[in-house]
Structure 1
């Protein structure tokens, strides 16, 4: 029953993510169409903030509420957002805020599928199946990113409003999901609405900080997180206890996600800068090269369950980290060897990223008892989003920085030297992740032995 539920959940997640990737590509064109080009970034920024919040909340709610009710809410919300976005912007005058409201509803709805997928896989599958379905999950994400680029390009030449309708078809899965998903509140505890509210608002301000780099937002987030820490120590039934954060095995394991996913969003913008400034290429041409790297990630992600079954999770994490490191260093070494060579090195990186998800996520979730697995899924999603946001904010600010110019280990100069050194910094972060894993892996897997 769990497997019969996981397949439609994965399809729903893929179509929702495909829509997200499509709008990320054409948001400037949409901004011009709704006569608000200066505010076009809000079309992606506000749904991204919502995504950062609901990733944690939905995963955590999986420990407290009926998964059937959660999925029904998500699919209905996704359908409402899809129909509202298409009808209001296609049959009536297109407006910035109708686009944003529709995208927020779609994002809030489709993420239910992703979070419930991970909760079901964690709670109800044996370990050998977990790594397979975690691999399919990351493969689905990478595949949707690749298809989203093509779908957005195609539909933007017809009418961008049709992008809204892509995930609407997932409502047909609702009867199947209601039949196969477990019902009832597994923990028997009430939902801690106040705790979720504090943590959700704190997460919103933290995400806003990395979008706009306004320090007052970071200050508010810090105050709210401190208030949350006090609340969970004194409340009678908080949704997450302070003991959760004193689990040293979990802390060591989650640090791997923090380090490895710090550079997860960096290679695409760095590639864009290299292509534009060193090779005189347009972004549309760059995407034609990079899309194959996403395809490689999808293929490796699909195979990651079999790979982990063959070599084990620890070896898989080491191999994945080495591939990511080789990708960054390879681009730095070959930066003037032609863009095709760089695209091959990008594929090496994405192969590592595709392989990494399944073993590292299953390792983190295995440090928690089953009744906390939903909160573990939520924390994983939150740390991935925050780590990637921090990484892109820092690395993005260094792209083209004269501070990294001058000498390079590989004999290049000027912009090439700056980009090569930046890529070596990214590689050093991945190397740090490998060192952290080798130092803590005995402790992380201690209970398994």
Structure 2
């Protein structure tokens, strides 16, 4: 049986092609989420749906995707990557074809759920592969992968707008199905691994899934009664974690203070990055009355800056250490939010330039944060440890988006809290960015004051 150490020494026939294939699949996986944001109004019109009904196209996807990322992370500790990737890409392609041919809304929902079951494999694999297969260049590879995620988040709405505008929203499913073409390259370049026989704690996995799913549903619907289910399954899941022989999530992960601090700090920081990607399109539409294509063009420089800086930032992680890069990136992100908060309401091209500052921090925060966690985890627990990291990041995105959505519905101030910001309709957006700047500061203080640098012998 292969040990975890042996996996770092596995022969990779073509490392560059393997990395390219992983990045290609990850890009389409991330874009699949952001492209459909653009198509929501068209889907609602096609099937005569209310906003609350059509919102499940995104809610259902995020719900399955976030839980799936944790499940795949857990499985990656014992199941060969080739098996996981083959299963994930095949299921995703099947969901995409069903969505393209969907005769009614129920088939669209089913297609999105199937897509999420398969697609959630990619973020789990993408953050574990650098640790397992590129240990000497881990920071650099994590930087490249994080930059691809950032770029895909920015380019997704543009591509979605073009496809839905010139064709129809059904072709978004067909575009996503292109991921399957990378499967032969991945299978050829991934090293051979053994699948270790291990029992999965299905009850523990189900309790975690229900806890996360009801949390997202409760936030999305604003129904406090649902949180009773969340609380009960959360309690049972915690008891299960401490009593099961082989629990779905090992409880000793949470006995590591550094691990808890790193996960919470990342949760807060990623929430702010998701808020940026969620709020900016709404702001550009409401304040400047821009079209979908114009919104994409305004955000494009920021997406490109994230793509370009990712590799350099990843190399910096290898050179000076992930802790220093993480603190630096949080400081830059906080500065970026202040800049955007201060310039909302000015001309769109100024806003476009200012968005570069916070958006370029996306790959820096994710790459350095993932590297910090990799240093804290034993090789046998990399999968589940990174799975929890991915799960918390997706939940943070859903939670922050819901909070901002409610804030935008309830408040419409004409005067911003930021004294140098522009007054008027843009004030509420300035306040949102200013408030989340405070959340970045909280993340920075939490990490700087409580996280302890592990000793070389740890």
TM-score (norm 1): 0.90
Equivalent in 204, 211, 214 of residue 202 of structure 1 = 211
Structure-2 residue corresponding to 1:178: 187
The Cα shift of 1:404 comes to 5.7
Q: Residue 265 of structure 1: SS of its match in structure 2?
A: helix
Summarize the alignment of residues 344-359 of structure 1 with structure 2, pairs less than 5 Å apart: 344-359=353-368
Partners of 2:272 and 2:439 within 8 A in 1: yes
Give the Cα–Cα distance (whole angstroms) in 2 for the partners of residues 300 and 131 of structure 1: 13
Paired residues of 2:65 and 2:119 also in contact (CA < 8 A): no
Q: Which residue of 1 aligns with 2:434?
A: 424
CA separation of 1:233/1:172 partners in 2, compared to 1, >3 Å: closer, same or farther?
A: same
> Kindly tell me: are residues 281 and 255 of structure 1, through their superposed partners in 2, closer, same or farther at Cα, counting changes over 3 Å?
same
User: What displacement does 1:444 show?
Assistant: 4.3
1:427 positional shift: 0.9
Distance 1:407 1:57, change over 3 A: closer
- What's the counterpart of residue 81 of structure 1? 95
Q: 1:435 aligns with which of 445, 449, 454?
A: 445
CA offset at residue 318 of structure 1? 2.4
Q: Tell me what 2:295 maps to.
A: 286
CA distance in 2: counterparts of 1:372 and 1:355, whole angstroms: 24
In structure 2, the partner of 1:339 is 348
Distance 1:159 1:273, change over 3 A: closer
CA distance in 2, matches of 1:420, 1:75: 41
| 8 A contact 1:28–1:41 mirrored in 2 | no
How many Å apart are 1:374 and its aligned residue?
0.3
Q: CA deviation at 1:253?
A: 1.4
Q: 1:151 to 1:306 in 2, by over 3 A?
A: same
1:272-322 deviation line (CA, Å, top 9, x unaligned): 454345444445433320122112111112332223234432232122112
- Long gaps (5+) in structure 2: 1-10
Does the C-alpha gap of structure 1 residues 196 and 178 become closer, same or farther in structure 2, counting only changes over 3 Å? same
SS of alignment partner, residue 376 of structure 2: coil
Matched, 1:148 2:148: no
Cα root mean square deviation, aligned: 2.4
Cα distance in 2, alignment partners of residues 77 and 276 from structure 1: 35
- Alpha carbons 1:22, 1:151 under 8 Å: kept: yes
1:23 maps to which residue? Answer: 36
The reply on whether 1:12 has 2:14 as its aligned counterpart is no
1:167-196 C-alpha deviation (Å, 9 max, x unpaired): 33333433443342443235x532222221
Which runs of structure 2 are paired with 1:66-145 in the superposition (5 Å)?
A: 66-86=80-100, 88-89=101-102, 94-126=103-135, 128-145=136-153
Are positions 1:382 and 2:391 aligned together?
yes
Contact preservation (8 Å) 2:99, 2:108: yes
The answer for the alignment partner of 2:331 in structure 1 is: 322
Which of 311, 316, 332 lines up with 1:307 in the alignment? 316
Contact 1:274 1:419 in 2 (8 A): yes
CA drift at 1:76:
1.4
Tell me the CA shift for residue 150 of structure 1: 2.9
Alpha-carbon spacing, 1:417–1:173, altered in 2? closer, same or farther (3 Å): closer
Separation of aligned partners in 1, 2:80 and 2:175: 27
Pair 1:99–1:218, CA change in 2 (3 A): same
- Provide the aligned length of Structure 1 versus Structure 2: 441
Q: Partner of 1:366: helix, strand, or coil?
A: helix
CA shift in 2, pair 1:311/1:11, >3 Å:
same
